Chain A
Amino acid sequence: MTSKNGFDPGYEREAKLPRRDWVLLPVLCLATICLLAGSVEFGARRMFKKLDAAGQDCLTLDYASAWVRGIPNCKVWEKIPEGELTEYRFNSSGYRNNFDFGPKSPDTYRIVMIGTSMAAGFRVPEQQTFGALLPAELSRRTGRKVELYNEALPWRVSSSLQRYFNETIATNPDLILWILMPSDIENPSWVHRDGVNPLSQRAGVWHRIRAALATGSFRSSIAAIFIQSRTATLLRILLYASPSQYVKSALHEGDYKTEFLKSEPSPEWQKDLSGFKSNAANIEGQASKAGIPLVAVLLPDRKQAAMISLMGDWPRGFDPYKLDNDLRAIISNHGGTYIDILPDFRAIPNPQLDYFAIDGHLNPKGHAMINRLLSEKLTNGAVAGLTASGQKRIGSETGQ
């Protein structure tokens, strides 16, 4: 049973390690790690520059009374790591439009768009947002002059929209276009669920490290500190370019932000959804009373778009279309029109690349895509003033 290994050709006395190697090898190891980590972070910082200022600087937000407004005529430049240098210019009404609102001319079809940061075109130059692109595209498709007032602002979710709805109606629109995001339901009280004022979230490195250390386990603390680095930004942009990887990472986190993707959401989410339902009823009621048609559309968030492109290959217990179906029922039940663009994401290759990988907002390519989808859906008969006769006109102009 037992044997000596002396006969084995592989049994050789190991040559002694030279004394200098006991120092040299650990130094080499440390030097490699420092050099690699340092050079990647340095390169990533060059590649993903960031300005301290942000679009939120043009907002005033009253935490106590759930009130958010844009500062009239405010101008600020923003640069997030993954985006380009972006100018924010607010008009005299405190909205992100490059013109002031005025009386409507009789031959103009006026749309007022309401919603949150995605609709306000945050992180993207104003002229590249779908809010800015849509009037020209709709005018081209319908043959009539279409203008769009963008009254969307970050954190103007359904509960706070009601407070400003009189302003929306006062602009005398022909159509109210309500751009919904999953976060509108997640976050009905327009402040983050942790109760932190969103405008105060920019903090110093030391503050962020302390906050990270307070997150719980050692591993999650390390991850939370590392995530602050620009190397993490670079890696996340590279890894999250893959829809499957991104979906896996996003769903694995399992926080409240994935609740809307579940086939059977939690009671907490159901409660938020019923809160949204009553807010939507109120908003639609006001629109109906004023005789203005309201059209709502859900823009998928990045993980939802990525899931749709996976064509059913997502983890069991999830359904990216669940919220779409719920919203269709809610909006239609109260007399509004619901436009469904989610199924169109199936025919878009890598739709998650149309969003900023980390920030999550639509990038310029994404805004162009939403412009195309919205203009198609708004002119295909869903909205009376933008359809049949307009389509005929285009047909006659192009000789079709």
Chain B
Amino acid sequence: MDNASFQFVGFGLAVALISNFSRSPVWRSAVLLVASLIFIGLVERNPLALLPMAGFLLLGYGCLLLIERGWSRSLAWVLVAVIFVYIWLKKYTFLPEGSFLHYSYFVLGLSYIFFRVLHLLIEAADRTERRHIGIGAYLTYTINFTTLVSGPIQRYDKFAQDQFAVEPIPLGPRVMGSQLERIIRGFFKVNVLAMLFNMVRVDAFAQLSQPLPVSFKLYAAFRLAVVFPLFLYCNFSGYIDIVIALARLMRIRLPENFDRPFAAPSFIDFWNRWHITLSTWLKTYVYNPLLVVLMRRISSPALQPLLGTLALFVAFFLIGLWHGRTSEFIFFGILQGGGVALNKLWQMGLAGTLGTKRYRGLAKNPLYIAFSRGLTFSWFAFTLFWFWSDWGQIDSDYHSIGRLNWSAVWLAVWLSSTVVLALWEWLRAVLLSIRTSEGPILVSRYALVVYASALGLISLVVTVLLNQPAPGIVYKAF
């Protein structure tokens, strides 16, 4: 149930159907809350295992009540308490081992609940007019089964706007059709494309360990480097496609989490397109406040661009750190923050050297964009080694072909991704330029029906043939 399986899609569609029996916000909210509780119950059958999660939710709600009742000056302490309990429940390794609960308990979606709870607390403290969020609304928002497992992280006001509206957003045949197409597309991405990419990755990883000639290993290293970002994208964005579409069928609009990330011409832009709701959350609650504090303390105008870079580094370092509890993820965070910071420094340096006008001209140059896009992809692929493997595996991979060969592999990754992504963008532009009066043919409802039917058939055939459990969603582990 906690992956992109037939069961999950069937469950979501059934909930959407029941939810639409009445337009009343009370009915729809009750259906969503009950469905979310059933969902959790289906994933975790042991009620005792749910107690820590329930405790965290109660702590969050208690803190929210305190702030709503005028204790907003204690926000900092409240935040520290919530963050500490989250870290403790997630068993971050810098806390003493003896302090943890020594039994297996349910933490699925805890990270996403954590972000929602912090958002509610900060917004409650910032609000000038008083607002009360009832326990029902709080739970419906925090444990919404469509966003529980892997996000997206939705703002409460946007959620409430759709969920508690007297007149819910319309749901006609066109919207239903496009959402069904999106569910099929998401299912195909997770169950077929991601499965294929993962297959290539596992095989390549094994070949790097085999006693094979170096030519085999070079090719394996190339595949290993290239394929994981594609796997992760299909796995994560496919699941997000499914949950966004299911929520829309329940008349809730979830925020988009991806916007063609591999089209990004810079690493900063990449993070505007990848896991958008997470990076937006961190920009809102880490980058902006941190920058304001830094600029208040250091007023020198010459240093302000560097302060912005530092704030960027911290925000994106935290993104890396959020993914896991080990030193690999600390390094992953350094590489994310370092990539964004270096990108910013490069932009500032180039603008300073060439002048703003010439720099803007260069940034629009198709060749410059193509190479930057390739570099962005390659850097992300490089950082992901600390995402999916541990130091031991990285060391073994490194020694399997040596430094010089790895340099050649990364150069090949950069050049090939530059060419392939440029061709992809060109092809997409050409196809989208074929239009009728209603818009591009490629996104017309007729084209969508054709390829949804084809993707649906392929997904069904592959799923039936392989007869395996649906692949897990990588981001549910965080």
Contact = CB atoms under 8 A, between A and B. Distances in A.
B172 A1 contact: no
B168 A5 contact: yes
Nearest to A26: B449
A249 B468 contact: yes
Nearest to A246: B199
Interface in B188-205: 195, 199-200, 202-203, 205
Contacts of A3: 160-161, 164-166
Contacts of A226: 461, 464-465
Nearest to A18: B445
A30 B462 CA distance: 19
A253 B169 contact: no
Interface residues on A, range: 35 or more
Contacts of B173: 14, 17
Contacts of A232: 461, 465
A22 to B, nearest CB: 8
Given A14-B172, A28-B446, A1 B137 contact: yes
B253 interface: yes
A344 to B, nearest CB: 10
A223 interface: yes
B445 A25 contact: yes
Contact of A32 (B170, B450, B461, B467): B450
A399 interface: no
Contacts of A37: 457
Nearest to B209: A311
A17 B161 contact: no
Interface in B274-322: none
A21 interface: yes
A76 interface: no
Nearest to B206: A310
Nearest to A27: B449
Contacts of A21: 445
Contacts of B134: 1
A30 B166 CA distance: 39
Contact of A29 (B170, B449, B465): B449
A309 B137 CA distance: 53
B191 to A, nearest CB: 13
Interface residues of B, number: 49
Interface in B126-184: 134, 137, 160-162, 164-170, 172-175, 177
Given A5-B169, A223-B467, A244 B457 contact: no
Contacts of B207: 309, 349
Interface in A347-398: 347, 349-350
Contact of A14 (B165, B175, B211, B462): B175
Contacts of B209: 311-312
B429 interface: no
B214 to A, nearest CB: 12
Point out which of B205, B462, B464 has the most chain A C-beta atoms below 10 A from its C-beta.
B464
Interface in A1-40: 1-6, 8, 10-17, 21, 24-25, 28-30, 32-33, 36-37
Point out which of A12, A25, A235 has the most chain B C-beta atoms below 10 A from its C-beta.
A25
Interface string B388-432: 000000000000000000000000000000000000000000000
Nearest to B172: A14
B95 interface: no
A346 B211 contact: yes
Contact of A8 (B169, B200, B462, B465): B169
B434 interface: no
A211 interface: no
B433 interface: no
Given A14-B170, A33-B457, A349-B216, A2 B165 contact: yes
A242 B203 contact: yes
Contacts of A253: 467
Contacts of B449: 25, 28-29, 32
Contacts of B211: 346-347
Contacts of A245: 195, 199, 466
Interface string A308-332: 0111110000000000000000000
B453 interface: yes
B129 to A, nearest CB: 13
Given A5-B162, A29-B449, A36-B454, A311 B464 contact: no
Contacts of A248: 466, 468
A289 interface: no
B170 A11 contact: yes
A199 interface: no
B169 A14 contact: no
Given A2-B166, A4-B165, A14-B175, A239 B466 contact: yes
B217 to A, nearest CB: 10
Interface in A234-251: 235-236, 239, 242-245, 248-249
B166 A4 contact: yes
Contacts of B461: 226, 231-232, 235
A14 B177 CA distance: 12
Given A13-B170, A36-B454, A242-B203, A2 B164 contact: yes
Interface in B239-284: 253
A227 interface: yes
A222 interface: yes
A219 interface: yes
Interface string A52-74: 00000000000000000000000
Point out which of A32, A222, A309 has the most chain B C-beta atoms below 10 A from its C-beta.
A32
A207 interface: no
Contacts of B170: 11-14
Interface string B455-478: 011000110111111000000000
Given A14-B172, A236-B465, A244-B203, A1 B167 contact: no
B212 interface: yes
Interface string A202-234: 000000000000000001101100110001100
Nearest to A231: B461
B202 A252 contact: no
A6 B170 CA distance: 11
Q: What 4 A-B pairs have minimum CB-CB distances, sorted nearest first?
A: A14-B172, A244-B202, A32-B453, A311-B209
28 contacts: A3-B160, A3-B161, A3-B164, A3-B165, A4-B167, A5-B162, A8-B169, A14-B172, A15-B174, A16-B172, A17-B174, A28-B453, A29-B450, A29-B453, A32-B449, A32-B454, A33-B454, A223-B464, A223-B467, A226-B461, A232-B465, A236-B465, A244-B199, A249-B466, A249-B467, A252-B467, A346-B210, A349-B212
Given A3-B160, A239-B466, A243-B203, 13 more contacts: A1-B164, A3-B165, A11-B169, A28-B449, A36-B453, A236-B465, A242-B200, A248-B468, A252-B468, A309-B210, A346-B210, A346-B211, A347-B211
Interface of A: 1-6, 8, 10-17, 21, 24-25, 28-30, 32-33, 36-37, 219-220, 222-223, 226-227, 231-232, 235-236, 239, 242-245, 248-249, 252-253, 309-313, 346-347, 349-350
Interface of B: 25, 134, 137, 160-162, 164-170, 172-175, 177, 195, 199-200, 202-203, 205-207, 209-212, 216, 253, 445-446, 449-450, 452-454, 456-457, 461-462, 464-469
